[in-house]
């Protein structure tokens, strides 16, 4: 099974992609599953899953005082925004804890790095130095390695791919690292500018017109 991780929908503050359009794009690319991880909520993943078209890994990317933390295979929203409590909430519902882009916008320490299950060693929006640092951290702390597209635009979906050694239990396969990173591609520099403009539109202009 081939899939892609770290995708954002219109339920995030910095993209306009609907869950349905994402699912259709994933199908078009010939991928078998996708992990949707909106900022601070599960709504996009749940809506995509309800379509019943392809397997959706229910996730979310929560902002904490130490930086973003992703939960995969969630069944309910994480309430806290304190890093240790976010990790506990993910774990208590049987989820998998992922540290995305650790060398970008994070305050790293041994406690955080030791606590996570998986480290995102390649993020399509990061630069080569940041990804190299992420890989070194994963190797140092002996963590499972994953790649994420961090897609906010349709053209960025599938910039990274993983191939799953599918045993019949996707959660177990991912939790135990039974997959390989098979594709890593960088997004264009203008994509980060684009997400900033969308963020401004959704959080500032829209509110002013309400």
169-194: per-residue pLDDT in tens? Answer: 999 999 999 999 999 999 987 777 66
At 98-124, the pLDDT tens digits run 999 999 999 999 999 999 999 999 999
Tokens of 142: 């002996």
pLDDT at 205: 56
CATH no. for 2-208:
3.20.20.140
Q: What is the pTM of this model?
A: 0.93
Share of the chain above pLDDT 70, in %: 93
Give the pLDDT band (50/70/90) at residue 203.
confident
pLDDT at 210: 38
pLDDT at 78: 98
pLDDT at 49: 98
At 162-171, the pLDDT tens digits run 999 889 999 9
At 127-169, the pLDDT tens digits run 999 999 999 999 999 999 999 999 999 999 999 999 998 899 9
Average pLDDT for residues 47-57, to the nearest whole number?
Answer: 98
pLDDT at 209: 44
What residues contact 134, with CB distance under 8 A and at least 6 apart?
A: 101, 102, 103, 119, 120, 121, 122, 123, 126
Is pLDDT above 80 for 55?
yes
């Amino acid at each position: 099974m081939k899939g892609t991780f770290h995708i954002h929908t219109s339920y995030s503050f910095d993209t306009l992609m609907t869950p349905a359009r994402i699912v259709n794009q994933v199908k078009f690319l010939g991928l078998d599953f996708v992990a949707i991880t909106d900022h601070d909520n599960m709504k996009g993943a749940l809506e995509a899953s309800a379509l019943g078209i392809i397997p959706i890994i229910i996730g979310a990317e929560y902002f904490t005082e130490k930086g973003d933390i992703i939960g995969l295979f969630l069944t309910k929203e994480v309430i806290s925004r304190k890093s240790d409590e976010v990790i506990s909430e993910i774990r208590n519902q049987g989820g998998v804890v992922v540290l995305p882009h650790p060398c970008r916008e994070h305050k790293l320490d041994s406690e955080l790095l030791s606590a996570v299950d998986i480290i995102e060693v390649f993020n399509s929006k990061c630069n080569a130095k940041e990804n190299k640092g992420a890989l070194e951290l994963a190797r140092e702390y002996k963590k499972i390695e994953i790649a994420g597209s961090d897609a906010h635009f349709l053209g960025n979906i599938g910039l990274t791919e993983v191939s799953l050694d599918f045993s019949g239990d996707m959660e177990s396969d991912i939790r135990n690292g039974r997959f390989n990173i098979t594709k890593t591609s960088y997004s264009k520099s203008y994509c980060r500018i684009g997400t900033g403009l969308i963020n401004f539109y959704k959080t500032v202009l829209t509110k002013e017109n309400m």
